[in-house]
Structure 1
Amino acid sequence: MRRFVAPDLDLSGNAVQIEGALFRHIARVLRLKIGTPLVLADGSGGECRGTIREIGRSSLLVGIEERVIPATSADEVWVTLFQGLPKGDKMELILQKCTELGVSEVIPFQSARSVSRVTGERMEEKVSRWRRIAVEAARQAGRRTIPEVRFAATLAEALRTADQELKLLLWEAEETVTLKKVLSAAATPARIAIIVGPEGGISPDEAAVAISAGFTPVTLGKRILRTETAGVAAMAILQYEFGDLGNAREESEMAKPARPAAEKKP
């Protein structure tokens, strides 16, 4: 059964009218027909199963048949990635792969050593594109939720709301405290934050800002990873240690809504 995620879906009723890009993808690209069953998710945890009832010129109607209530899991962990702005389209790759691995929030920031310098309208365009990439990656990965994506002008600005229980700074200047050592000594956290620098790494001043905000500098050991690899590797490690990587899929509970007396056609 095909699954579609869109952050603007309202799944509260007994039918969902779909327009715009998602309509074109379902009706024009995939050419799904009336009677096709599918799963819809709103990107915030809401999900339902239904069937295409009508297809119009610019919209289609999906009748909701089962409301899915995700089973709660003790293995869920919220991970925020603070990513120093990298060159070119590397941010897109980071977003794609970290979304697949279950990142909850990605905050790219303009680092002192970032080669790319993007401001104003161009930055707004970048953030909009990054959010679209997160939506698509969540859809392909079968996630119920879509990671939050927002930009910060500096690391200090990004860390103003950093209140996670476990805070990690991947820093090439750290030589003795390993990520493995810190994770083995840590109690299971509900929320984790990790900082990854751009190609040139985190500056000493930025490291001081992070440490003052409660971050622990760690090293990955002898491995030298590119910026587009470091965050992905860290996400995999954190999900294996504290999250659900490798765990069996959990069943969801379903609730059937009452049939509406009348349905609005698209």
Structure 2
Amino acid sequence: MATPRFYCPIPLPLNETIALPDNVAHHASRALRLREGDEIVLFDGKHGQYHAELLFTNGKAMAAIKHYNAQEHELKGKITLVQGLPSGDKMDWIIEKASELGVQHLIPVQAERSVLNLTGSRLEKRQDHWEKVAISAGEQCGRNRILQIEPLQTLARFVADHPQPDNKLLCHPEGGTDLVAYLKARPDIKEICLIVGPEGGWSDRELDLLKKNGARQITYGSRILRTETAGLALTAACSALMDWV
């Protein structure tokens, strides 16, 4: 069994014993049923990870921090996924798998054809839920840095905040540059931004906005991929083709 890992965004001083945050303590003692003396791994999302021994003092879960491991499990390059908001709970799947595949940033976009429409308290709850999904995925897959999820935004907001056109790849099934050919011609790039529409795709107006702001339309394979598949498939392809894994 792999050593249980917990995201713990608090100071983690070596050779000291700290009280675990309530959510971590509950997960360790109630959900996983860990016992006194079990080895655990803590990481703060900034760098490396800390190996510790689980202790219980007056019913309070504690961690005696033993040593630090600077090893990271990040891609050699940076991948950002711009994801048109899908229906239902598909975003949970996308966040979980994007984290496992090494995506550093995920930008959810309320597209014109997005079926789901999130506002107010409902949006706040969903955004908080997405953060928890990303944390859980990071704990499971061995990454010491949590996938960063930006606030849900319009496509116009994304374009305004990201004016540089370099390596913005508009994933579209109808025409465009072949992804493999595009990457082979650019062996030295270090960042890629993949832009994926919702179930109904980007509207003509959105496509025009993206292209006018430097996004290059690309294709990958001869089949049409679902929104929850496209970004993940292209992330894996880019990582392999660029030898970033």
For the criterion TM > 0.5, the same-fold answer is yes
Question: Structure 1 residues 164 and 70 mapped into 2: Cα distance closer, same or farther (>3 Å)?
Answer: farther
Structure 1 CA distance, aligned partners of 2:147 and 2:165? 16
Q: 1:55, 1:159 → 2: CA distance?
A: 52
Aligned pair partner of 2:27 in 25, 28, 41: 25
**Residues 13 and 65 of structure 2 are in contact (CA less than 8 Å); yes or no, is this contact kept in structure 1?**
no
Aligned partner of residue 24 in structure 1, secondary structure = helix
After superposition, residues 99-110 of structure 1 pair within 5 angstroms as 99-110=99-110
Higher relative contact order (CA 8 A, sep 6+): 1
Task: Give, in whole Å, the separation in 2 of the partners of 1:76 and 1:3.
Answer: 26
Give 1:25 shift. Answer: 1.2
Q: Distance in 1 between matches of 2:10 and 2:4?
A: 13
RMSD: 2.1
Task: Assess, with a 3 A threshold, how the Cα gap between structure 1 residues 7 and 78 changes in structure 2: closer, same or farther.
Answer: farther
Query: Which position in structure 1 is the counterpart of 2:129?
Result: 129
For 1:98 and 1:179, locate their aligned partners in 2 and report how far apart those are by CA, in whole Å. 19
Comparing 214-223 with 96-105, greater Cα deviation is found at: 214-223
Q: Is the 8 A contact 1:172 1:201 kept in 2?
A: no
Q: Is 1:154 matched up with 2:139?
A: no
Q: What is the deviation of 1:168?
A: 0.6
TM-score of the superposed pair, with normalisation by structure 1: 0.83
CA contact (8 A) 2:82 2:107 kept: yes
Structure 2 gaps of 5+ residues are none
Counterparts of 2:223 and 2:135 in 1: how far apart (Å)?
A: 31
User: In the alignment, is the contact (CA less than 8 A) between 1:111 and 1:154 conserved in 2?
Assistant: yes
Hey, what's the Cα distance between the residues in 1 that align with 2:67 and 2:178?
A: 47
Deviation at residue 12 of structure 1 after TM alignment: 3.8
Separation in structure 2 between the aligned mates of residue 32 and residue 72 of structure 1, nearest angstrom: 25
Match of 1:65 in 2: 66
Once residues 188 and 60 of structure 1 are traced to their aligned partners in structure 2, the CA distance between those partners, rounded to angstroms, is 47
Match of 1:167 in 2: 168
Identical columns (%): 33
Q: Mind listing any 5+ residue stretches in structure 1 that lack a counterpart? A: 246-266
CA contact (8 A) 2:171 2:218 kept: yes
Alignment-derived partner of residue 190 in structure 2: 190
Give the 3-state SS of the residue equivalent to 2:51 in structure 1. Answer: strand
Note the C-alpha offset of 1:208: 2.1
Structure 1 partner of 2:42? 40
Tell me the CA shift for residue 3 of structure 1: 3.3
Equivalent in the alignment of 1:249: none
In the TM superposition, what is the alpha-carbon distance from 1:243 to its structure 2 partner? 4.7
Q: Report whether the alignment pairs 1:49 with 2:51.
A: yes
Q: What is the match of residue 242 of structure 2?
A: 242
